[in-house]
């Protein structure tokens, strides 16, 4: 249960993992998701961080009901992180640019 996508200059690897009910049953209770973000050009995602990895994501305190729901949520959260990285990079470039005013 894995999905790979490229968003701009970032490669996102998303993994959904089945979680079983507590107790003796091996029934799948739902799914959790994690993602890893790397740059397609090999540059660090953030200074000194070649990749950024999420913690295990659940829907609040509940698990996702399906693999697709987990993967879709992971993709949405990765997109949010990428937007944050890009906004920070833009702000860093603006603050480093010489003022010609």
Annotated domain spans of the chain: 2-96
Instruction: Classify residue 94 as left (phi > 0), alpha (psi -120 to 50) or beta.
Output: alpha
Cα distance between residue 65 and residue 81, in whole Å: 24
Mean pLDDT of 5-31: 88
What Å distances lie between residue 11 and 8, 21, 54, 59, 92, CA to CA?
8, 33, 14, 23, 22
Q: Assess whether pLDDT exceeds 60 at residue 101.
A: no
pLDDT at 87: 87
Chain segment 60-92, per-residue pLDDT in tens: 778 999 999 999 999 999 999 999 988 888 787
Chain segment 20-60, per-residue pLDDT in tens: 877 667 788 899 999 999 999 999 988 888 999 999 988 67
pTM of the entire structure?
Answer: 0.82
For the chain, percent of residues with pLDDT exceeding 90: 59
Residues facing residue 7 across a β-bridge:
10
């Amino acid at each position: 249960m894995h999905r790979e996508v490229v968003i701009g200059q970032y490669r996102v690897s998303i993994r959904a993992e089945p979680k079983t009910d507590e107790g003796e049953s091996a029934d799948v209770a739902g799914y959790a998701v994690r993602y890893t973000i790397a740059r397609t050009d090999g540059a660090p995602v953030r200074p000194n961080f070649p990749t950024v990895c999420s913690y295990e994501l659940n829907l609040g305190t509940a698990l996702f009901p399906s693999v697709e729901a987990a993967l879709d949520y992971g993709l949405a959260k990765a997109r949010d992180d990428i937007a944050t990285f890009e906004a920070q990079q833009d702000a860093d470039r603006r603050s480093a640019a010489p003022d010609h005013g």
